[in-house]
A and B are shown apart, each in its own frame.
Chain A
Amino acid sequence: MAQVPVQTIHRDPQLFYWILFPITIVMILTGVLRHYASVLMASAPKKLDQKTMREQRALLHGINVRSNYHVLSKSSFTARRDALITAYESGDYLKDPDARGQPPPNPMSDPSAMEGMMGMMKNQMAMIIPNTLIMSWINAFFSGYVIMKLPFPLTIKFKSMLQAGVATKDMDPRWMSSISWYFLCIFGLQPIFNFLLGSENAANQMAQQMTQMGPQAGQMFGPGVDPNKQFLAEAENLAVIEHHSVLDGVEQRLLEGIKV
Chain B
Amino acid sequence: MPTEQELQISPIVQESLMHNSRILHNLQSLTASLFGVSAGILGLESYSGFLFYLVFSLLTAALFYAVRVAPTSLAAGKAPLDTSRYFKSPFEFWAGGLMNELAGFILTWTLFYGLVRA
Contacts and interface: CB of A to CB of B under 8 A. Distances in A.
Nearest to A245: B8
Given A151-B40, A151-B109, A194-B30, A188 B5 contact: no
Contact of B46 (A16, A20, A152, A199): A152
Contact of A150 (B8, B32, B103, B110): B110
Interface of B: 5, 8-9, 22, 25-26, 29-30, 32-33, 39-40, 44-47, 49-50, 101, 103-111, 113-115, 117-118
Given A151-B40, A153-B46, A190-B104, 9 more contacts: A13-B118, A16-B115, A149-B114, A184-B107, A188-B107, A188-B108, A191-B101, A192-B33, A192-B104
Nearest to B112: A151
Interface of A: 11, 13, 16, 20, 24, 70, 147-153, 184-185, 187-192, 194-195, 199, 244, 246, 253
B40 A16 contact: no
Contacts of A11: 118
Nearest to B25: A199
Contacts of A20: 111, 114
B107 A149 contact: no
7 contacts: A16-B114, A151-B113, A184-B106, A188-B105, A190-B104, A191-B29, A246-B8
A15 B103 CA distance: 23
Contacts of A13: 118
A117 B72 CA distance: 48
A110 B9 CA distance: 45
A55 to B, nearest CB: 26
A191 B32 contact: yes
Contact of B113 (A147, A149, A153, A253): A149
Contacts of A149: 113-114, 117
Given A191-B104, A195-B30, A148 B22 contact: no
Contacts of B115: 16
A246 B5 CA distance: 7
A185 B109 contact: no
Contacts of A184: 103, 106-107, 110
Contacts of A189: 104, 107
B111 to A, nearest CB: 8
Given A11-B118, A184-B110, A199-B22, A152 B103 contact: no
A189 B104 CA distance: 6
A256 to B, nearest CB: 13
Contact of B114 (A148, A187, A244): A148
B100 to A, nearest CB: 9
